Amino acid sequence: MVEIRKLITMREVILAELGVPAPRPVARAVGMAAIVNPSAGRFVDDLRPLFEAGAVLGERLMPELVKLLDGPAVSYGKGALVGVDGEMEHGGACVHPMLGKPMRAAIGGGKAVISSNVKVAALPSMCRSAAKTTPGRSHISTRLRCRSPTRRA
């Protein structure tokens, strides 16, 4: 079972870019989660707990994100930021292969590959997933952060 430390949802509306007004507002919804990485600091053969974490987070965040949009989503992405005690594969396991199903279910379909980005970095850091910006369209950008448990001296 995934240990969720924090969930954040956010709505962004872009009215202008580089001083140029958008023909129509661009709405983006972002979902972020901070979870405990059960594989941090050790080698594991089975990343299934992280696969399942991605599914749980997708099922929990996506319905809320869809409500934040002005209409149907036209592009979406996902990403993971893994703490330095983790591996890039841990973030990949969070965003693949089970996160896509709840994402597609929430938006009512989608056949294209869902772009993703995974980084290992010290916190604080930012992992931004790819999302094209089309004026007047709605976007969902799902960002996941896998974090190692805090070390105590």
For the packed helices 48-68 and 88-95, what is the interaxial angle rounded to 10 degrees? 50
Mean pLDDT over each residue of the chain, to the nearest integer: 83
In the 3-class helix/strand/coil scheme, how is 39-58 assigned residue by residue?
CCCCCCCCCHHHHHHHHHHH
CB-count burial class (<10 Å; 0-12, 13-18, 19+) for 152: exposed
CATH pick for 4-147 out of 3.30.1330.110, 3.40.50.300, 3.30.420.10, 3.30.1700.10: 3.30.1330.110
**82-135 per-position pLDDT tens digit:** 999 999 999 999 998 899 999 999 999 887 888 899 989 886 654 444 444 344
C-beta of residue 151 within 8 angstroms of C-beta of residue 88: no
Distance, in Å, from the CA atom of 30 to the CA atom of 8, rounded to the nearest integer, reads 8
Residues of the chain above pLDDT 70, percent: 80
C-beta of residue 122 within 8 angstroms of C-beta of residue 13: no
pLDDT at 146: 43
Going from N- to C-terminal start, the domains of the chain cover 4-147
The larger pLDDT score, comparing residue 151 to residue 116, is at: 116
